[in-house]
Amino acid sequence: MGNATRTSGLALAAILLAAVAGADPLPSWNDGPARDRIFSFVAAVTDPYGKGYVAPAERIAVFDNDGTLWAEKPFYFQAAFIVDRIRAMAGDHPEWKEKAPFRAVLSDDPKALGGLDLHGLLELAMASHTGMSDAEFERTADAWLTSARHPTTGRPYTEMVYQPMLELLEFLRANGFQTWICSGGGIDLIRRFSEDVYGIPPEQVIGTGVAKELRKEDGALLRLPELLQPINDGPGKPVWIGRHIGRRPILAFGNSDGDFEMLADATSGPGERLALILHHDDAEREWAYDADSPVGRLVRGLKEAPARGWQVVSIKRDFARVYPRPRSR
Amino acid sequence: MGNATRTSGLALAAILLAAVAGADPLPSWNDGPARDRIFSFVAAVTDPYGKGYVAPAERIAVFDNDGTLWAEKPFYFQAAFIVDRIRAMAGDHPEWKEKAPFRAVLSDDPKALGGLDLHGLLELAMASHTGMSDAEFERTADAWLTSARHPTTGRPYTEMVYQPMLELLEFLRANGFQTWICSGGGIDLIRRFSEDVYGIPPEQVIGTGVAKELRKEDGALLRLPELLQPINDGPGKPVWIGRHIGRRPILAFGNSDGDFEMLADATSGPGERLALILHHDDAEREWAYDADSPVGRLVRGLKEAPARGWQVVSIKRDFARVYPRPRSR
């Protein structure tokens, strides 16, 4: 990985030129090793005369979503979607009031919610995500994305994205990269905002999905209460990257140990490779968590990053700005 | 579908202009309704002032592979790959000589091969496609694609592709379309030649796949003897198109009733839509078959095409040339 850390003359020239022209492509990144590393990597793989050159077709970058492109505190945003949907659907299901795990959601008792086990959460996820057509699901997802607000900032969830990451996605695309999402979250929810918010079209979103079948009468895709295997997390990520993309990414960006295998896979091929880990260490502007958080737990990645040549990105140190300015509405 | 058959003034102008410039994008297509239909459809969806305009991001075209982009006679080419692999692997499996279904392949008796049932074929497919890493499979696939020859023409299978279809793929891409393959055949075999032969990158290939898992020791993807469900044929095609693409194609091209649901799905949305069926009706230059062929069976598509406004493409009438000129080697 030695070459990846060296800023080539060409890279330096490109950065200086951009600076002189006033067109810094990463204005929300502070000067420092992370920003340097990104610039030198992109310079190396795009320099047609350099030995690190990578053809545009092979410039594949994969990004985790929860905690990497948008926040994941105080809970995964998809969990908020599930809870809101269960409450909205409760009128049609009077039996839920007395039935676990629905009772925990409808009781408005935060303790009951926190006490849900994986089996209970899965049942809630299936009840809110399946048993309808894709078109119906998309309508409820769109309505929720428009109306729901983050519990502590009051902003739409789609504004709880990281401005420096938006700039990085755009910078990579401007340099011939394909930018993909590879998330443990539900693929169909992410696809409803990824193009508008991240500039990532639905065909470049990989996530956890449910089984579907074609309804004979009208050709609608019906959503079935069964998760596709493997879940797109941990060792499942390289499996789904293989299914969707069919070639190994050269850049991967994650934030938790659920991204470890994705980062290891991206950096296991020949030539220039870059893996980055976003470290949530800014309790003032965002949240500070790693080893002890049930959401976004990060231990192994931090420990092995130096030896593996993976770049740790600190929100506190490397992000000049965290969230984008609110969209005018 | 009335609008799709009308050649707009702009479309006509574009065709005339191309003709004057000597730059016919579809030189291997004979004049006729199929060629006209393609030109007027592309003109309609790319005319920014027309009411049929479709933004580039939504210009998704899906193509079946066997019998649509390359030939499928006297048997699916993947079947030849399976048979060749079983024979090549037989030295390491002395027990196969006495064991069905392998015996049928190793006996060199065409009748025994023809008598295999679906269960037997599946066992052969799994033995030749799984139990190794992706990287190992790719090496055997590459070697086979280079060395194997079609039994009647003696040409590499990758030259048994239809020249008019190569031109159509290129023409669509030149007009901002994404061109995808959606094949019942194995995704990983197609991905080994699709970019080189069709200009279609691996991430735009959809096919039938096998389960895989990450090997902990070295991060290799291991191929498991289990087909992913549903098989990417018939009603499975819209399911996998949804998984990979996440939006409905506006153009679909197939040749058998296994493509029916894909064509129905593509033409079920609003706006301009185009479905095409390649009819193998040229026994002299290719093969002639439809209702009575076990491979590429076509009955319902032909019957319902007129009422549904689907365009039947006749190899005999519409293809000026069938195969490309041999590549210099």
pLDDT digits (tens, 9 = 90+) for A129-162: 999 999 999 999 999 999 999 999 999 999 999 9
- Mean pLDDT across B250-275: 97
Q: For the segment A186-200, what is each residue's pLDDT rounded down to a tens digit?
A: 999 999 999 999 999
pLDDT for res A10:
63
- pLDDT for A322 beyond 50: yes
Chain centroid to Cα A124, Å, comes to 22
Which residues of chain A make contact with B188, given a CB cutoff of 8 A? 246
pLDDT for res B21:
63
- CA–CA distance, B71 with B171 (Å, rounded to integer): 21
| B290 at interface of A, judged by CB pairs closer than 8 A | no
Residues A283, A315 contacting (CB under 8 angstroms):
no
Q: For the segment B78-126, what is each residue's pLDDT rounded down to a tens digit?
A: 999 999 999 999 999 999 999 999 999 998 787 887 788 888 989 999 9
Residues A176, A59 contacting (CB under 8 angstroms):
yes
- CA–CA distance, B44 with A216 (Å, rounded to integer): 30
User: In terms of DSSP bridges, do strands A221-227 and A311-314 run parallel, antiparallel, or are they unpaired?
Assistant: unpaired
pLDDT for res A326:
84
Is A246's CB within 8 Å of B191's CB?
yes
**Angle separating helix axes A33-46 and A9-20, nearest 10 degrees:** 110
Choice among A96-110, B29-43, B176-190 with the minimum mean pLDDT = A96-110
Residue B292 backbone dihedrals phi, psi, to 5 degrees: -100, 5
Residue A296 backbone dihedrals phi, psi, to 5 degrees: 70, 35
pLDDT for res A304:
98
ipTM: 0.92
Q: Is the omega angle on the peptide bond into residue B101 within 30 degrees of 0, that is, cis?
A: yes
pLDDT for res A117:
85
pLDDT for res B12:
66
pLDDT for res B14:
66
Q: For the segment A49-107, what is each residue's pLDDT rounded down to a tens digit?
A: 999 999 999 999 999 999 999 999 999 999 999 999 999 999 999 999 999 999 999 98
The answer for A 14-53 residues in CB contact with B (under 8 A) is none
% helix, strand, coil for chain B, step of 5: 45, 15, 40
Q: Which residue has the tokens 């064991």?
A: B99
pLDDT for res B326:
84
DSSP letters, A45-88, are HH-TTSTT---GGG-EEEE--BTTTB---SS-HHHHHHHHHHHH
pLDDT for res B1:
39
- Mean pLDDT across B202-208: 98
pLDDT for res A118:
83
- Mean pLDDT across A204-230: 97
pLDDT for res A76:
95
- Mean pLDDT over each residue of chain B, to the nearest integer: 93
Nearest to B246 by CA among A106, A313, A189, A77: A189
- pLDDT for B142 beyond 60: yes
User: In terms of DSSP bridges, do strands A311-314 and A60-63 run parallel, antiparallel, or are they unpaired?
Assistant: unpaired
B113 vs A19: which has the higher pLDDT: B113
% helix, strand, coil for chain A, step of 5: 45, 15, 40
Is A242's CB within 8 Å of B212's CB?
yes
Please, where are the H alpha helices in A62-193?
Answer: 77-89, 102-106, 110-114, 118-129, 134-147, 163-174, 187-190
pLDDT for res A21:
64
Q: Is the omega angle on the peptide bond into residue A270 within 30 degrees of 0, that is, cis?
A: no
Is A216's CB within 8 Å of B230's CB?
no
pLDDT for res A1:
39
- CA–CA distance, B88 with B102 (Å, rounded to integer): 12
- CA–CA distance, A96 with A115 (Å, rounded to integer): 17
Is B214's CB within 8 Å of A238's CB?
yes
At residue B156's C-alpha, the angle toward residues B67 and B173, to 5°, is 55
Which residues of chain A make contact with B178, given a CB cutoff of 8 A? 203
Nearest to B81 by CA among B151, B181, B139, B148: B148
The answer for B 228-267 residues in CB contact with A (under 8 A) is 229-230, 235-236, 238-239, 242-247, 261, 264-265
If phi > 0 it is left, if psi is from -120 to 50 it is alpha, else beta; for residue A109 that is beta
**Angle separating helix axes B9-20 and B33-46, nearest 10 degrees:** 110
- CA–CA distance, B213 with B186 (Å, rounded to integer): 17
The structure's pTM equals 0.93
CA distance A257 to chain B (A): 15
A66's tokens: 């929860």
* Residue A2's pLDDT band (cuts 50, 70, 90): very low
Nearest residue on chain A to B194, alpha-carbon basis: A246
Nearest to B269 by CA among B284, B249, B254, B253: B249
Domain positions in chain A: 56-73+160-318, 77-147
Q: Is domain B56-73+160-318 given the CATH code 3.40.50.1000 in the classification?
A: yes
Chain centroid to Cα A158, Å, comes to 12
- pLDDT for A171 beyond 70: yes
pLDDT for res A307:
98
Is A244's CB within 8 Å of B244's CB?
yes
Q: For the segment A240-285, what is each residue's pLDDT rounded down to a tens digit?
A: 999 999 999 999 999 999 999 999 999 999 999 999 999 999 999 9
- pLDDT for B129 beyond 70: yes
pLDDT for res A3:
46
- Mean pLDDT across B45-64: 97
